[in-house]
A = this chain, B = another copy of it.
Amino acid sequence: MWKINAFDMSKPIYLAVADVIENDVLAGNLRSGERMPTHRKLADTIGVTPGTVNRIYQEAARRGLLTAVVGRGTFVTADAGRKSSIMDVTKEELAWDMGIARPLTVADPDLWPVIRKTLNKRRLLDLMRYSDPQGLPEHRAAGADWLTRFGLKVPPQNIVITAGAQNALFLICNSLLKAGERVATDNLTFTGMKAAAQRNGLRLEGVPMDSAGMLPDELDALCRRHTIKALYVSGRIQSPTNCEMPFTRRQELREVIRKHGLQLVENDSYGLLSRAPDRHLTALLPDESIYIAGLSKGFAAGLRVAYVAAPPGIARKIAQGVADTMLFVPTVNAEIASECLRSGLAEAAILTKRDMVARRVAMFRKIFENHVFECLDECMFAWLKLPPFWKGLDLETEAAKRNMRVMSSVRFAVGPTPPVEAVRVSLAGMSSAVDLRKALTSLERLVSKLV
């Protein structure tokens, strides 16, 4: 077990020891999931009281290094020391990128006719003014209309326009929650949510899943242990595990949400390509949920527009968040997006993209037929379970040497328990299907240790 040797006596003990822990995590002396000494044990060792050790561990937890469980002990967080972001600016791009679920921009529609139609001189001048942080009424109306596609009936005043789904997530974390508060998520969740939470000092609590999604009893137990403010879920298709919650599971979750008064936050950006786009939790809690409908997975990711539906008071707070972080979402972009929705261009683009995704998924299934994985015809990535001789992070490293990017399961992990060894393989990161086939083939050989 981990033992502390020495710490910098010139600074406060709680900081000095937290620094030692941080260094040991980064140096690999403390491994994911490893158990730390108990408060009383470490207190004895370094000659302080348990209260001080609590402060040490809390400081380390704030830095994302440790997770404590009453009665069980304190553990090194599964993803300790790894930056969680959708995009890591320090990483170079690799030729064969199966890491990021980049929308398939090759299949994007030509926006020029839309631009030509909507942006005449006068309208353009109007759109260059300072605008309503919540979004122009006509853009919100277009958003409300679009949401009927997902089985939601919302008045335009409940809609907020944000600069994409990630922006919506960040604003929700920043405007609706306070540092130190707890938010429940699947114990494998979207990296963008992890990044948003970390930046706002929120504590994520990972809830165990089975093949039908988040376990209601586990969520209930969590809520009884702690005050949980909100529940973040992935929408129709769970990211990154590709599981879909059956109706009964969603019903059970609704009851737990109601029972504990959780604020539901549902990011259904990946549900855009789905053929059954109303199979989300929000459908069961339409008046209480915050529902995020990003467009980027469907078309025109570069526009950075998403629609958020939320109860009026909450919508107002998110809008104030938009005001304080960027004044308003560029109005031209919302105008172009609205016209795409209204004119049917969006729907057409989605159909095209859905086909393309299906073809790529088929390609994946074929190449990996001898492996264990989860994938869906309507989902841009596959969840590949690894054979016992592979660790996800090692595969990441080896793949990178061969110019391929994949993402290990630990990057999605929330909480102390190291997840199953798996990688998420994005089928939408590369524009060329020919290159993707090469990449997948090469990856398969690597996973099989044939190369």
Q: Interface of A with B (CB < 8 Å)?
A: 85-90, 100, 102-103, 105, 108, 110-112, 115, 119-121, 124-125, 127-131, 133-134, 163-164, 166-167, 170, 174-175, 179, 192, 195-196, 199, 201, 299-304, 316, 319-321, 323-333
Contacts and interface: CB of A to CB of B under 8 A. Distances in A.
A112 B121 contact: yes
Contact of A201 (B86, B87, B179): B179
Q: Which of A299, A323, A331: most chain B Cβ within 10 A?
A: A323
B174 A327 contact: no
B121 A326 contact: no
Given A127-B302, A128-B301, A134 B89 contact: yes
A180 to B, nearest CB: 10
**Copies of this subunit:** 2
Contacts of A105: 125, 128-130
Contacts of A324: 85-86, 166, 170, 192, 195-196, 199
11 contacts: A89-B134, A100-B130, A103-B130, A105-B129, A112-B124, A163-B330, A164-B326, A164-B327, A174-B199, A195-B324, A196-B324
Contacts of A167: 325-327
B112 A300 contact: no
A297 to B, nearest CB: 11
A88 B323 CA distance: 8
B326 A166 contact: yes
Contacts of A163: 163, 326, 330
Q: Which of A134, A167, A300, A327: most chain B Cβ within 10 A?
A: A327
Q: Which of A89, A103, A199: most chain B Cβ within 10 A?
A: A89
